[in-house]
Every structure is written in C-alpha cells, then in structure tokens.
Structure 1
Amino acid sequence: MLKTSFTYTDMSLPIFVINMKNSVERWQKTYNRLQTLGLECQRFEATVGKSLDETETSHWYDPTANLKKHHRNMTPGEIGCYVSHMRIWQHIHDKNIPAAIIFEDDLLIENHLQENINNLSKLQDWDMIKLSDNRANPFIHTETLSSQVVLGNYLKVPNGGQGYIISQQGVKKLLCRKPFFRPVDVDFQFHSEIDLQVFGMKPYPVSEDLSFQSEIAAINAGRHSNHSTFLRNAKHRLAMYLQRKKISGDLSKVIKSQ
C-alpha cells in the first residue's frame, strides 16, 4: 500500500514515480535527483502488461471499443503503461489528494521544477498540466505566471506521459475512461471527450532521458496483433483532426484574480 508522507500545500505536493520492480538503479537516480531539488517522491510500482491474465486484462481494457475507436490494437506494454497511470489516479482519488505530480522514471529533470510547482498557487479549477513535450507543440494562448514561467493551452496536446500534474477533479474525469481502449497519452489528446482541461507550463521541467532504453517498454515488449486497416486508420485520423480543432482549456477560468 502506497503511503503519502507529506501534505499537499500550494508549495509542495506528492510526486509519484512509476518504476519497474527490478529497475532499482533508475529509481535511485530519479529519487536522488529530486532530493537535490529539495523534493520528496514516492515510488509506484509499474504494472507489467504481459503479466496480466485474460480476466485482469478485460477488467482494464475494452478490445471492442478499441476496434471501433482506435486505429490498432493495444500491445501488452501499452496496456500495462495505462494501468500504471490509472492505478495512481485511483490512489489520488481514494486518498482525496488535491493534486499530485506523476513521473515516469526515464527523465531528465531541470532545476526549475520547483518554480513550476510554486506557480500552482496562482491557478484554480484546472485538471491537468503537462510538464514535458518532446515535439515542441506550440501554445495557442498564454498567460505569464512569473518572470520565468508561462501557462498555455493547445490545439495539439503533447503526447507522452513522462511528466504531468493532475488535480483531484482531473483524476475523476480520467477514471471515467475505464475500461480504456487507446494508449494513455493518446487519450490525453482526446481531452474533449471527457471535458479534460489540459494546459502546459513552460519552460518544461522534464524531458525524456534518451540515454536509457525504456525499461517499461522493454519488459512489456510485444508487437501489435494486427496491422491497421485503411478504414480504421482513416477513422482515427479524422477523429484526431476534429479533436485538434478544439482548444484544450480556457486560460481565463484557471488564472486566479489578483
């Protein structure tokens, strides 16, 4: 059972790090890095998708919805990754934690992470704040939070689940995804389906550590069970195109009045 060792305030909040059972070195590296920044973190053991039996898999994953609404079947690795995130969301919900940071463990963490966290005190009624983007997707609108930090919204929400902040109201929305049918980072991009308000905070404080092969991906290794058909692929592309016409969140509603 995961235990929360400190209380959320405007200046600090729980940090959960998704880490494979045997990835001790990677956990230690992430833990030590956050310690140097004066931040505590808690390890959350990753789920190995290929270790789930058929009953467990069907508890989390809906292959029928996947066939209708995604362009290819999910791999055991994608299922395990989504389950890992969803188990943390459930923990945040059950413990009534106001907000938390979720990290995967293959990260480079910048010194300004604490400044990003400090600026949360200027926000209200937000669901998710992305802390990384390896593809440099632009903001549509921005609000300056401090001399160094800017909050923005998107038409194209960054993929990847390497690092983000999630609120209690955000996890309640995300838990409605169960059973899921797309990879977790793709579901973030389809934010409007559950009215998930997604923002980003730049400069992003985390990025993927490309010096490591993802151990989560390696342990969960597996190929897609089919090639995407033309029709499935076309439906997915159209759905994504329409989704990217919708702004990910209203900045005017999350900035506290001065």
Structure 2
Amino acid sequence: MNYKTFLINLDRSPQRLADAKKQLDALDMSFERVSAADGSQLTPEERACFDKNTAQKRYHYDLTWGEVGCYLSHLKCWQKIVDEKLDYAIILEDDLHLQDDFNKVPELLEQLKTPWSFIKLGNPFKPRKETPVETLARFNLVRYDKAPSGTCAQVVSYQGAKALLAARSLFFRPVDVDLQWQWEVPIKILGLTPYVAGHNLSFDSDIQQIDQRKNKAKRSGVRLREQLRFFYHSKLRGE
C-alpha cells in the first residue's frame, strides 16, 4: 500500500524533532516532517478557521491559539493524504514515546479485514471502554463507546481524510474532542491495542505554552447542554 509517516513538529522545537527522529530511526521507519502551524504566529486567514460563533453556541470556551494551531496542523496532514493520493498516513505528534513494536503497524494494517478510516495508535489519557472487532496475533482492533482524547499517534485513510476535510474547513472544538463527535465529522474512530505509542512526559505542552485554556472564560450552560447532546446521540447510535 502507498503510505507515509508524517511527524508534526514546530519549527521552534528542534529538540522534539531530534527525539522523535531517534526513536523512528531506531525502528527503521522513515518519516516526513510536517511543519506545524504555530499558534503564536498564525496568519489572519489561519485564525479565521476557528469558528468563534459556533464555539459560543456549541463549546464551553473559545479555543486557545495553540489549540487552533494544533487543529490546523492535523488538517495539513489530512490534506497531504488527499493531495498525494496516499492509501493512508501514520500521523504523529512530536512529543511521543514509541513502543518497540510500533514498526509493526503497516504490516498489521495490511492484514485487517474490517473496513477502517481512522485508527488510534495511542491513548495517553483517560481509559475508554473498548470492544474488540478483530484480532491479529496479540493485537486487537477495537471500537469505543467514546473515542479517547489526544492525537499523539493515529492512522488516517484516504477516504477518512476526505471526510474530515469536507466536514471541518472551519472548526470550533479541539481536534481530539471534535473526533469524539463521530456522527458530525463524520468518521468512525477505531483503535489498535495494546497501544504502540504514548506521550513523552519529559516535554511540556507546546499548546499550553502559548496560552492557557484555564484562563479562557467558561460557558457552563453550553457544556452541560452539549454533554446531554453527546449522551443522546451516543445512545441513539448504540455506542
């Protein structure tokens, strides 16, 4: 299959690039660096991709510019998948820690019989309920009741990238939260477990260094309404 590994990395973060390259080189995995959108230096056109009006109705705070930059960086990777007509891409963020069997991912993907468009390769945050849908040796392809947070490592297919780009030329949630709303994006999020990637805890968040989400005014009423909306749609879909 025709695929690439994309590594999202800020131009001002050479140490992260060096650390990620060392890990990928050790696993004999080639990669292409994707220059991340820097939340501290966004152009007016890039800032306009954040849909503030919808956020005020549907999300409990206005995104930080770091979160906007993160979303834009993933959009750039999805666009590259489509432009280059890749079957899929492995998309990595640079503050990652790879397991020794990470390089088995392409081989495992070749063996899958279950149709897929987006597969999580890591979940560094809150565990989620996982239901196996296919087994490959010691690995399981799983579905979730609610997709895990975080976007440290994932695989996105050509069709998945097209769907994501069509749905989100404008966005109002952080990218990992947006992906949890699978019926809106629309895309089905699966996972490969045991996870082969996680966060490198020695690095601080680039997103939070730009501005802090805790400093953003919160809309508690919007949050409660959206939680109920999410619960309703999840039950409607049997998730």
108, 113, 117: which one pairs with 1:127?
117
Give the secondary-structure state (helix, strand or coil) at the position aligned to 1:140. strand
Following the alignment from structure 1 to structure 2, what is the Cα–Cα distance between the partners of residues 216 and 222? 8
Does the CA contact (< 8 Å) of 1:61 and 1:178 recur in 2?
A: no
Following the alignment from structure 1 to structure 2, what is the Cα–Cα distance between the partners of residues 55 and 84? 14
Give the secondary-structure state (helix, strand or coil) at the position aligned to 2:115. coil
Unpaired segments ≥5 residues, structure 1: 1-7, 249-258
Distance 1:242 1:14, change over 3 A: same
Alignment match, 1:237: 227
Following the alignment from structure 2 to structure 1, what is the Cα–Cα distance between the partners of residues 233 and 122? 20
Does the CA contact (< 8 Å) of 1:20 and 1:216 recur in 2?
A: no
Matched, 1:98 2:75: no
Matched, 1:142 2:133: yes
Following the alignment from structure 1 to structure 2, what is the Cα–Cα distance between the partners of residues 164 and 153? 14
Matched, 1:52 2:42: yes
138, 142, 151: which one pairs with 1:161?
151
Does the CA contact (< 8 Å) of 2:132 and 2:140 recur in 1?
A: no
Does the CA contact (< 8 Å) of 2:178 and 2:185 recur in 1?
A: no
Alignment match, 1:108: 97
176, 179, 185: which one pairs with 1:185?
176
Give the secondary-structure state (helix, strand or coil) at the position aligned to 2:184. helix
Unpaired segments ≥5 residues, structure 2: none
Cα deviation for residue 53 of structure 1 reads 3.7
Following the alignment from structure 1 to structure 2, what is the Cα–Cα distance between the partners of residues 140 and 184? 23
TM-score (norm 1): 0.85
Does the CA contact (< 8 Å) of 1:71 and 1:235 recur in 2?
A: no
Choose 162-171 or 89-98, whichever is displaced more: 89-98
State the one-letter code of the partner of 1:181. Answer: F
State the one-letter code of the partner of 1:17. Answer: L
Cα deviation for residue 28 of structure 1 reads 1.3
State the one-letter code of the partner of 2:17. Answer: W
Give the secondary-structure state (helix, strand or coil) at the position aligned to 2:8. strand
1:47-97 CA-partner distances (Å, limit 9, x unpaired): 112312434311x11111111111211111110100011011111111111
1:1-35 CA-partner distances (Å, limit 9, x unpaired): xxxxxxx44xxx31111111021121111112111
Matched, 1:29 2:19: yes
State the one-letter code of the partner of 2:25. Answer: Q
Q: How many residues align?
A: 235
Distance 1:55 1:114, change over 3 A: closer
Identity percentage of aligned residues: 32
State the one-letter code of the partner of 1:76. Answer: W
